[in-house]
Amino acid sequence: MDASHTAEDVIESYIIDTIQLSASAPTDDGVDGITREKVVHFYQDLQNVIEEIDLINKEVAGITREKGLMMCFFNSWIDLLMDVPVDKSSLS
């Protein structure tokens, strides 16, 4: 598991704990003034950010893959060109 997933799990656990505490609080103010509604909105916003980061990671992976394929193609062409005999009489 990478660091981003570990951080995501920690944050989600904290949010779930806060929601549960807020739901069991005797007043509408929740715990320490944090209402369940605020926590739910924060969680939804956080989910949106996580989805955006996942999309960015996929784009980066695609670009990296494309770059690797282009470099492989370029290197293949270089190898082919290096194998082609050169007529030295045409160079003078």
At 16-67, the pLDDT tens digits run 777 777 667 665 555 566 666 777 787 788 788 888 888 888 888 888 888 8
- C-beta neighbour count of 34 within 10 angstroms: 16
| Element containing residue 44 per DSSP (H, E) | helix 36-83
List of residues 6+ apart from 43 with CB closer than 8 A: 12, 15, 19
Asked whether the beta carbons of 14 and 30 are under 8 A apart, the reply is: no
pTM of the model: 0.49
Residue 74 lies in a domain: yes
Residue 24 lies in a domain: yes
Give the total number of structural domains in the chain.
1
Residue 92 lies in a domain: no
Residue 89 lies in a domain: no
